[in-house]
Amino acid sequence: MFKFIEYTVVDNYATILLNRPEKRNALSMGLMQEMSDALWEADDDTEVHAVRIMGAGQDFCAGYDLTPLIGASNVRPRLRNSTYRAGGLYEESWATTADDAWRLEYSQRMRMTIFDMHKPVIAQVHGNCLAGGTDVALLCDMVIIAEDARIGVPPVRDIGTTPNSMWLYHLGPQWAKRLMCTGDTLSGADAAKAGLAMKAVPRDLLEDEVVGLMRRLGKIDIALLHANKRIINTGLELMGARTLQRLAVENDAQLHTADVSKRFRAMAMEKGLKAALADRNARYPDCHALFDQPERRDESGRFIKN
């Protein structure tokens, strides 16, 4: 039934496994559509009380799949051969900002299923949870993360911003700005301290921790789970969370027209995506933040060891 994910149900909970380990579970349009379909399947199944999302291989999710054209990877059936909106990372020029925002919003609807469905969704995060991976994890109702995981949005340095923006609601304004203005990452341990994750545990205990929670949720009537999730999410909506998601798409589309974004695209087209990413990483050494420890750095940005 699915090509890019695996979907299983045991002990009254469903597991959605992002299953593109060779691509570090990068979010293609096909994967996001399958994830959304599986979430609605779980929401409709009365045997399922909760859902966990996890990643195959070494990472939870390393971001969006930037290699194909956005338009070419669209999974929505098309009835005609032309007249559709343009836009894509590797095109010579972007489509209009409105077209770009339309495409970003189209994919955002797939991820918003996590927020909109009636049953709780838990993110089981290990390895890297970067860029688009955070757009999935932070929409989940709870995040349990390995202490040695890494979470953040490096693309805010040169491509744009995140088209799903739950950072403020987890972190508060100061730490949200600290991470979103620099693209630095937090370790899983620090993410839990900051409020970005509910809990951090050693990597070898992550599976047991999440499964234990899923089994507890499996004992609660789904009507009660629905009521308690939805009242809290309604509170987030009253604080502007849903409106902010729509504005985040428009913000990201606008930033795609910035010179720095154009330079990144030009390098990716000329030298390949790996070269463009390597160039970014070289310019930002030691690109992680410390939540409750001093950060002493030299002029290049590298940490000064005591």
CATH code of the domain in which 148 resides: 3.90.226.10
Average predicted confidence (pLDDT) for the chain: 91
pLDDT of residue 222: 97
Percent of the chain at pLDDT exceeding 90:
76
Question: φ and ψ at 76, to 5 degrees?
Answer: -70, 130
Q: Is residue 164 situated within a structural domain? A: yes
Q: Is residue 195 situated within a structural domain? A: yes
Print the domain residue range for 274. Answer: 5-76+83-283
Q: In what order do the strands lie in the sheet with 150-152?
A: 128-130, 150-152, 186-187
Q: Is residue 127 situated within a structural domain? A: yes
Distance of alpha carbon 133 from alpha carbon 122, whole angstroms: 14
Higher pLDDT, 102 or 185: 185
Q: Which pair of tokens denotes residue 277?
A: 């990413």
Which residues are within 8 A (CB) of 160 and not within 5 positions of it... i.e. 6 or more apart?
251, 252, 253, 255, 256, 258, 261
pLDDT-based confidence at residue 305 (cuts at 50, 70, 90): confident
Q: Is residue 304 situated within a structural domain? A: no
Count other C-beta atoms under 10 Å from residue 248's C-beta. Answer: 21
Q: pLDDT tens digit string along 190-219?
A: 999 999 999 999 999 999 999 999 999 999
Measured between its terminal Cα atoms, the distance across the chain in Å is 54
Q: pLDDT tens digit string along 85-106?
A: 765 444 444 568 888 888 899 9
Q: Is residue 299 situated within a structural domain? A: no
Higher pLDDT, 70 or 109: 109
Q: Is residue 294 situated within a structural domain? A: no
pLDDT of residue 216: 97
Chain centre distance of CA 137: 5
Q: Is residue 298 situated within a structural domain? A: no
Distance of alpha carbon 286 from alpha carbon 289, whole angstroms: 8
Q: Is residue 225 situated within a structural domain? A: yes
pLDDT-based confidence at residue 73 (cuts at 50, 70, 90): very low
Distance of alpha carbon 283 from alpha carbon 38, whole angstroms: 39
List the one residue out of 206, 183, 196 whose CA is nearest residue 126.
206
pLDDT of residue 306: 72
Number of domains in the chain: 1
pLDDT of residue 71: 37
Average of pLDDT values for 254-276? Answer: 88
